[in-house]
Structure 1
Amino acid sequence: MNAPAATTQGQAILYRMVMDKHVCPWGLRALHLLRRKGFQVEDRWLTSREQIDAFKADHGVQTTPQTFIDGARIGGFDDLRRHFNMVVRDPRAVTYRPVIAMFAMTALMALAASHAIFGTPFTAHAGQWFIAFSMCVLAIQKLRDVSGFATMFLGYDLLAQRWVPYAFLYPFAEALAGVLMISGSARWLSVPVALFIGGVGAVSVFKAVYIDRRELKCACVGGDSNVPLGFVSLIENVMMVGMALWMVIMPM
């Protein structure tokens, strides 16, 4: 396959994979980005494995899609974003975005539940549900890959380092406490569980981050997290302890 002829300004040629059983999502994103930037796009489909392999060999590239502007190859989707001076996500970069999104969603869920039951979103129950919902969602993140979570958790949790099975039990304990706290039932179980795992977790995080000054990733949102260990994980554990104490002194 020959290199594309030079195009005029405002035009681009995009080669992307469009097969019977697979349409490349990065190709669709590249097409959308080019059109959003005002380009007229010549959208060329690679519809078979043979076409794809031949295209890669002809142009010396490893991936598709590939974009050409004014006859020059720009590259894949990330290269296209760089061409337009747009931010390209680094999958290894430290980020708080997953935690912010999670807490924002659980807060909205708690407010919605309060409004549905009491006619107003702003009640004490909303605060309690926010913590309990957050515990459940955090548990879901850990339960997606218990082994991955446990491996990361063992890097800093004091109890898990002394008794490894605790790292595998932790997500289930957090989920159990969260569900029971939402229902307001079996306080004899949910309160001690939350106090125990929250207390041990808070001490472990404080020691690792603020005493030992270690730079670690937080296992709080799962084993594939790029969230740094520190304030967020400490808050998670303090919230559990606070919720347990609240349930001791206040009726649900």
Structure 2
Amino acid sequence: MSDISHRPQVPGKALLYRMVMPHHICPYGLKAKDLLKRSGYQVEDHHLATREETDAFKAKHDVATTPQIFIAKERIGGYDDLRRFLGKRVADPKATSYRPVIALFAMTALLALAASYAVSGDALTVRAAEWFISFSMVVLALLKLQNVETFATMFLNYDLLARRWVPYGYVYPFAEGLAGVLMTAGVLTWLSVPIALVIGTIGAVSVFKAVYLDKRELKCACVGGSSNVPLGFVSLTENLMMIAMAVWMALGPVGAGHAL
């Protein structure tokens, strides 16, 4: 690829070569076209309409992927290369990110407030706080259940019970989800409380040992097996929330609905 260390002062024409086939339109080609237009470039859009045409283009320009962008007779590269050329951030898929966790807890908090308001006309209630935890448990379980095999494999890296009894890694997300649903409804506390207390306590001890005692750097399986969230505060918080909810429900009636 040519040197692209500087951007032209005045946007001109850009040549874009992208796959546009009857059964496949390259999404990165569409994103590149949109980004070029928003950056002020006139886009000369060339469609690669067949696999043979695409392969021939790759061979001619000695590239492995499409789309490919050319500006001022320089090959810029693909979509990520275009973003770099325009001085925009390119996300690292392997980088640590707390965004999934922040999004999850933000949405469950808003959902809890909305549900409380719909039921009582007041968003800031004890029930809203309870629902925030139970909704979070359900969504966290859902993320794990998207790929139980991957979750269970990651879970074995640090969970003390799963290391002794491997099937526990497969049981855990179902147990967490069940406890969350029952706690949301405020029913069968004789079942939901022990489940949350047991899995929350084992999880908290396991995370504390792995991170704070053994000083291990691991990925957290708390939001599913494909995340890049580091094991530590987030997973510990998840488990402590389950413990707190279990203790709260064991000590008295749920869903009082009083304002905080």
Give the TM-score, by structure 2 length.
0.93
Give the SS at the match of 1:213. Answer: coil
Aligned residues: 245
Identity %: 66
The aligned counterpart of 1:111 is: 113
C-alpha distance in 1 between matches for 2:240 and 2:139: 16
Q: Which runs of 5+ in 2 are unaligned?
A: 1-9, 255-260
Following superposition of structure 1 onto structure 2, how do residues 31-110 of structure 1 map, counting pairs within 5 Å? 31-110=33-112
Q: Which residue of the other structure, out of 222, 226, 229, is the alignment partner of 1:227?
A: 229
Q: Indicate how the Cα distance of structure 1 residues 103 and 9 shifts in structure 2: closer, same or farther if over 3 A, else same.
A: closer
Query: Could you say which residue in structure 1 is the equivalent of 2:129?
Result: 127
The whole-number CA distance in structure 2 between the counterparts of 1:133 and 1:102 is 10
The one-letter code of the counterpart of 2:132 is F
Q: Distance in 2 between matches of 1:39 and 1:119?
A: 52
Q: How does 1:1-252 map to 2 (within 5 A)?
A: 9-252=11-254
CA distance in 2 between counterparts of 1:239 and 1:19 reads 50
**CA–CA distance in structure 2, aligned partners of residues 103 and 26 of structure 1:** 30
Q: Which consecutive residues of structure 1, in runs of 5 or more, have no partner in the other structure? A: 1-7
Cα-to-partner distance string for 1:127-164 (whole Å, 9 max, x where unaligned): 10010010010001110111100110000001111111
Asked whether the equivalents of residues 16 and 68 of structure 2 are also in contact (C-alpha less than 8 Å), the reply is yes
Aligned residue number for residue 3 of structure 1: none
Distance in 2 between residues matched to 1:9 and 1:37, nearest whole Å: 7
Q: Give the drift of 1:44.
A: 1.0
C-alpha deviation, 1:9, in angstroms:
4.4
- Contact 1:9 1:70 survives alignment (8 Å): no
CA RMSD of aligned residues (A): 0.9
